[in-house]
Amino acid sequence: MIAMIRTRPLLSLLAAAAFTLMLGPVAILIGVAFTAGDTLAFPPEGFSLRWFSAALDYPPFIDAFGTSLVVAAVSTVLALALGVPATLALNRGRVPGRRVVEGLFFAPIVVPELVLSLALFQQVMVGMRVTALGALVVGHTVLLLPYTVRVVGASLALADPRLEEAARGLGAGPVRTFFTVTLPVMAPGIVSATILAFITSLNNVPLSLLLTGPGVATLPVEMLNYVQSSFDPVVAAVSVLLLALSVAVAFTTERVAGFTKVFGR
């Protein structure tokens, strides 16, 4: 490290600046969450855990967190259920207008989420009279589908299709070939897509803003509503808890499967 600083001082300075920009706000957030003061201020005024206790005792946050977990879990499952077959069709099948179909799958990433949220609000909640919870699930599924298709497709694209041809040549049927050859090849991409989709849904704000209703709101939206009228560090404590959850998911993934297997080399 010292040798790199001496030989490439400009590169080391840029790297340090990049790490400061990325980790600096996180460090400030953690400091504010553990403050003993009564307002959002940095540096913190002493050390205290009272804002974490206040966050865990605030019923709207607990209810919203439960809603976020349900929406994230159901949306992730639906995105995988739709995205995996679509990926197989796009990569192994002969789909007419393949590029156009791929563009349609990736459109939710290109379209601003507020625009997508407004369209879903008009068509799903107003037009079809779907409940807020159902609209959130539909909206998050639409948002997560491109990530699923992209990540699983990247994993499948790296696989040698001759493996599947060899399995069929040895007498394996389509179903057995899928479960013994194709699915193990896609498994790292599916795990990666599951993690990415769940975390993306759990932390989403723009898409969820217009799809909430009375008594139904995701945790990020409830946090946004809270800071409009309160300036205490409760929201900072909730943010640190969400950050800890994300780190725990990453740590568990590393312990169970390893990032090399999940995300590739």
DSSP string, the chain: -HHHHHH-HHHHHHHHHHHHHHHHHHHHHHHHHT-SSSSS-SS-SS---HHHHHHHT-HHHHHHHHHHHHHHHHHHHHHHHHHHHHHHHHHHS--TTHHHHHHHHHHHHHS-HHHHHHHHIIIIIIIS---HHHHHHHHHHHHHHHHHHHHHHHHHHTS-HHHHHHHHHTT--HHHHIIIIIHHHHHHHHHHHHHHHHHHHHT--HHHHTT-BTTB--HHHHHHHHHTT--STHHHHHHHHHHHHHHHHHHHHHHHT-HHHHH--
CB-based contact 168:236 (threshold 8 Å): no
Return the pLDDT at 262.
46
Distance from chain centroid for Cα 156: 21
Residue 188: its pLDDT value, please? 80
pLDDT surpasses 50 at 207 = yes
Pick the residue with more confidence: 188 or 67? 67
Q: What is the pLDDT of residue 149?
A: 86
Question: Is a pLDDT exceeding 90 seen at residue 71?
Answer: yes
Please tell me the distance from the alpha carbon of residue 108 to that of residue 112, in angstroms, as a whole number: 8
In this predicted model, what pLDDT tens digit does every residue of 15-66 receive, in sequence order? 778 877 887 788 888 888 888 877 777 777 878 888 888 888 889 889 999 9
Six-digit token string for 7: 């030989």
CB burial of residue 144 (10 Å; 0-12, 13-18, 19+): buried
The arrangement of secondary structure in 64-225, i.e. its CATH architecture, is: Orthogonal Bundle (1.10)
Q: What is the mean pLDDT of residues 172-184?
A: 74
Task: Give the pLDDT of residue 141.
Answer: 93
Average pLDDT over residues 144-161: 81
